[in-house]
Amino acid sequence: MEIAEPERSRTRKTLDRLRTDVLPLLVLAVLMLAARSSFANHYHVPSGSMQPTLQPGDRVAVDMTAYGVRIPFTLVDVVPRGGPRPGEVVVFDSPADGTRLIKRVVAVAGDTVELVDGRLRINGAALQPEDADDAERFGARLVALDLRHGGGPGIVPTVVPDGMVLVLGDHRGRSADGRYFGLVPEREFYGRAVAVYHRRGEGFVWKRL
């Protein structure tokens, strides 16, 4: 009895320490992961497929609630907010191999999209402004293109079906995008890229997208 009592005491102290010190840290870690999954996150740009908008190494803030508030670690919306709109920069997993990607939405359900020499026509209208050779306009958003390596594969006039979205890179001749892996279901988008918050050579910045 004199030996067992100290052992129980040590066990009780260990359990108390776990409950008071370790458990709160575990709960905090889970809450932080859940917040990143459902509310806000960031993305590290690995390539130049979105140049000149995004540069390799850029760190981008992502709004995970832009298209709905989701149950953590799932694609189940508890507060739907509608799908992505043309011109927005989005984060999603490639339908081809699951790689996390960042691209621009260029056409949504019901749009007739055509791509010739890297330049878009949506519902028969060219998106290229008269005063800008390597740019496209999505509503009020003017997007600069990189066509130094040509326009890449074209797209014959195609109607985007319900629930689907076409995404392309701004560096049209150097982007593995919807021309290769096809359309992306709306529900697959994790969030909308809001701004570049860190860029090599510049440090911390805030360049809205």
pTM of the model: 0.78
Question: What's the pLDDT score for residue 190?
Answer: 86
Question: What's the pLDDT score for residue 9?
Answer: 66
Distances (CA, A) of 1 to 8, 14, 105: 10, 20, 72
- Could you tell me the maximum CA-CA distance found in the chain, to the nearest angstrom? 92
Question: What's the pLDDT score for residue 103?
Answer: 98
Q: Which CATH class is domain 39-109+161-208?
A: mainly beta
Counting as low any pLDDT under 50, the low residues of the chain are 1-5, 18, 21-40
Question: What's the pLDDT score for residue 90?
Answer: 96
Residue pair 123/195 in contact (Cβ under 8 Å)? The answer is no
pLDDT tens per residue across span 59-78: 999 988 888 765 555 566 55
Question: What's the pLDDT score for residue 18?
Answer: 46
Q: Per-domain residue ranges for the chain? A: 39-109+161-208
The dihedral over CA atoms of 90, 49, 160, 69, expressed in degrees to the nearest 10, equals -10
